Amino acid sequence: EAQVTQNPRYLITVTGKKLTVTCSQNMNHEYMSWYRQDPGLGLRQIYYSMNVEVTDKGDVPEGYKVSRKEKRNFPLILESPSPNQTSLYFCASSPRDRVSGANVLTFGAGSRLTVL
Amino acid sequence: RKEVEQDPGPFNVPEGATVAFNCTYSNSASQSFFWYRQDCRKEPKLLMSVYSSGNEDGRFTAQLNRASQYISLLIRDSKLSDSATYLCVVNMLSSSASKIIFGSGTRLSIRP
């Protein structure tokens, strides 16, 4: 089944304890992206990757790192989590439409992170 | 001003009603437009792309007005299962970058 898989789905951690949220897709998509969703603010892009070894900042990259060593994986790293990073996180991937260039996103099921 | 703005709702309408949402975007360089649907505590899923000429998918009709920089979604004969949050999405593209911006969403609740 074509899908985007995120882990963990739920995590409660403490301030400063490094954590990684994994994201994997099996659709051979070039484009991958991370979002956080907060009440009243909608989905905000953290980082994205147009292809392997290419990553770019989104709108809210502070406090996060990513890597894209392989096409299928795009982990999100919080080196020193803080309470303001408590949020619902979504990973998404998309093929690159060669005609329009548009990205139609397939999302993972989400990871709910609480930082105490 | 937000780059993509939507009326947050909630819209509370009876089953069978027609309901319309609008979404405005601020950047005229925006090139691709979409409506996504998000059920409570679930991931967003693509509802439909929005084309310049307007497009229809069953009970759903999407329109784009580039001059006024807004897109719309019309739902006819609404069903209970249409209750969800509808997200307007704008994609700005260049040869080296892709910026995808989501609106905050419009909540729709269909009552029996």
Residue appearing with tokens 């497009």: B55
The three-state DSSP-derived secondary structure of A37-93 is EECCCEEEEEEEEEECCEEEECCCCCCCEECCCCCCECCEEECCCCHHHCEEEEEEE
Give CA–CA dist A116/A98, Å, rounded. Answer: 44
Residue appearing with tokens 């991931």: B43
Is residue B96 very low, low, confident or very high in pLDDT (cuts 50, 70, 90)?
low
Distance from CA of A95 to the nearest CA of B (A): 12
A-B contacts (CB, under 8 Å):
58
Residue B43 sits at the chain A interface (C-beta within 8 Å): yes
List per-block mean pLDDT (blocks of 10 residues) for chain A, which spans 116 residues.
Answer: 94 96 95 92 91 92 97 97 97 77 84 96
Cβ distance A107 to B45 less than 8 Å, yes or no, reads yes
Measure CB to CB from residue B44 to each of A41, A101, A107 and give the nearest one.
A107
Q: Quick check: B111 and B15 in contact, CB under 8 A?
A: yes
* Averaged pLDDT, B33-51: 93
Measure CB to CB from residue B91 to each of A35, A50, A103 and give the nearest one.
A103
Residue B32 sits at the chain A interface (C-beta within 8 Å): yes
Q: Is A29 exposed, middle or buried (0-12, 13-18, 19+ CB in 10 A)?
A: buried
| Statement: residue B70 has pLDDT above 60 | yes
pLDDT of residue B29: 77
The helix/strand/coil state of A22 is strand
Is residue B41 very low, low, confident or very high in pLDDT (cuts 50, 70, 90)?
confident
Single out the residue of B29, B102, B49 nearest to residue A58, CA to CA: B102
DSSP letter assigned to residue A96: -
The helix/strand/coil state of B81 is helix
Residue B87 sits at the chain A interface (C-beta within 8 Å): yes
- Cβ neighbours of A105 (radius 10 Å): 26
pLDDT of residue B52: 85
Measure CB to CB from residue A56 to each of B8, B97, B102 and give the nearest one.
B97
The helix/strand/coil state of B82 is helix
Residue B101 sits at the chain A interface (C-beta within 8 Å): yes
* Averaged pLDDT, B67-85: 95
